[in-house]
Amino acid sequence: MHKDLESILISRDEIAAKVAELGRQISADYEGQDLLAICVLKGAIIFTADLIRHLTVNVTVDSIAVSSYGKSTHTSGVVRFLKDLDESVEGRHLLVIEDIIDTGLTLKYLTENLRSRNPKSLKICTLLDKPSRRQVDLQPDYCGFSIPDKFVVGYGLDFAERYRQLPDVGVLKPEAYRLQ
């Protein structure tokens, strides 16, 4: 375990099993259809890479980057587009792949923006969900794990661009983010 973690919340083995299960469920739901998987950068990149390897449907991958956190542990509430999609979404089945849903503010803004572009459908897949922190009415269509209100890192999730490479999802020690 990394020295800055107080505990492992979800092990790499639990993650791998859940990602495979989500891949089977999504493949069944989209059988016979083409899917545009939208990776929400940077946090969802590892989850997206693992998830699409489990999909048995035709899938195209694009990425989008939005930010509301910066180097803070809490959202600023102001969403900024850092990178837009390269692909048109009009008339396509979209699967937005997110690492974590916390307040839901960023994802609500993002999904409203994508819906304004006239996709055929739009669903949300998240590895982690913190329903106790939700500030808007937003529910993922596919969810890996519901977690308590802890600051987590690893498997793509970061604090100040650190810890993404950790293979498990762990709870960051408060002193690790107070030093920044």
Catalytic residues, by residue number, are 102
Q: Report the alpha-carbon angle 27-58-82, nearest 5.
A: 95
Q: Long-range contact list for 8-11, CB < 8 A, 24+ apart?
A: 8/168, 8/169, 8/170, 9/147, 9/150, 9/152, 9/168, 9/169, 9/170, 9/171, 10/128, 10/145, 10/147, 10/155, 10/168, 10/169, 11/168
* 3-class DSSP state of 54: coil
